[in-house]
Amino acid sequence: MNGQIQPLTRLTEDEVMFKDMVYKFAEEQVKPYVKEMDQEGAFKPDIIKQFFELGLMGIEIPEEFGGAGSSFFMSIIAIEALAMVDASAAIYMDVQNTLVNNAILNWGSDSLKKKYLPQLATEKLGAYALSEAGSGSDAFALRAKAEDKGDHFLLNGQKLWITNGGEADLFIIFATVNPEAGYKGITAFLVERGFEGFSVGKKEDKLGIRASSTCELIMDNCKVPKENVIGEVGKGYKVAIETLNEGRIGIGAQMLGISEAALNYALTYSKEREQFGRPIAEFQAIQFQLGEIATQLEAGRLLVYNAARLKDNGEKFVKEAAMAKLFTSRMAETVTSQVLEIYGGYGYTKEYPVEKLYRDAKIGQIYEGTSNMQVQTIAKFILG
């Protein structure tokens, strides 16, 4: 059967086992620290180390480079499973697999792959640095510059809102070698944290996914060897576009996990909470809300899984990725808001977990392309 018409939410036995394994790990090793990490705005380094030990940070990296040699879809269901416990945990793995690893796998030279993929699979966290103060949705209005110095480039400029920035050892940084050429001057560079002239600046204090670090990056005559160009000079826009298309499916999976967690909490609470002498789950108004949430969740899962299957099958998936991110990010905000209301006054307090889910959900409509940008992408496809 064609990948587009198979039962898309049905997982194979191996996929079910893998997703269950990741979820069990998250329940046992991540969940006990979720509240503390959220309050402190910091992720425990030992948990990131465990991500590597489980093979979660190099799922698509070939075995010859120390990775699992598995599929993009496996990355997606792992992100979903982690997000059911903590969205911050999920985004560490998401950025590593869908953006950083994929950029090097698809565009890196053989020497870059041999040098860096084993590190990314086993010990070093990556970050993806495109955004700047003046280039958000207009992603290619970059001011960071790269000057050709013969055997190396000198990078100058700043990057903002870089996920994983606080802990990352390797950074994919986009800068222009020729501002007059517009997007055709943009080039992707692989920068090590210890490179001369590179530093990590301010860490943002955020509404949600607080345990995930979001930082400023500073390049002050940052010296980057020429062999660390990813792809071709002046073709960085292609690297950015293609990796972000994959990354949007990852964000969809994160939003799925948040929404699944919210529904699970709502189901448990509605059976335990009594009003007027009976559980609130027996009231039709609550049943209607739960039924709507479950339906929205299944629709979102179909969109995310479909986009991931298409990507693995080598079929076009850009429109489907945009739809998946658009729908699930809106869904997550709506679902977490409804569940918070089901909890009533308790839901508005930090004693219960749903207020965190509500805060975590909002970022889905902002990063890796705002909802407006997803709608625009979809419209371009349907208009031909």
Write the DSSP assignment of 169-187 as a string of letters. Answer: SEEEEEEES-GGGGGGGEE
Tell me, yes or no, if 53 is annotated catalytic. no
Check: CB of residue 339 under 8 Å from CB of residue 360: no
Angstrom distances, CA of residue 147 to CA of 130, 226, 244: 18, 11, 25
State how far the Cα of 305 lies from the Cα of 37, in Å rounded to an integer.
Answer: 30
In a 13 Å sphere around the CA of 51, the CA atoms on its Cβ side amount to: 29
Check: CB of residue 195 under 8 Å from CB of residue 224: yes
State how far the Cα of 245 lies from the Cα of 227, in Å rounded to an integer.
Answer: 25
Q: List the catalytic residue out of 60, 167, 333, 368.
A: 368
In a 13 Å sphere around the CA of 28, the CA atoms on its Cβ side amount to: 7
Residue 43's closest CA among 124, 204, 164, 141? 164
3-state secondary structure of 156: strand
Write the DSSP assignment of 64-101 as a string of letters. Answer: GGTS----HHHHHHHHHHHHTT-HHHHHHHHIIIIIII
Angstrom distances, CA of residue 74 to CA of 18, 20, 65: 8, 12, 18
Determine the angle formed by the axes of helices 318-343 and 284-312, rounding to 10 degrees. Answer: 160
Q: What is the identity of the amino acid at 319?
A: K
**Catalytic residue IDs:** 368
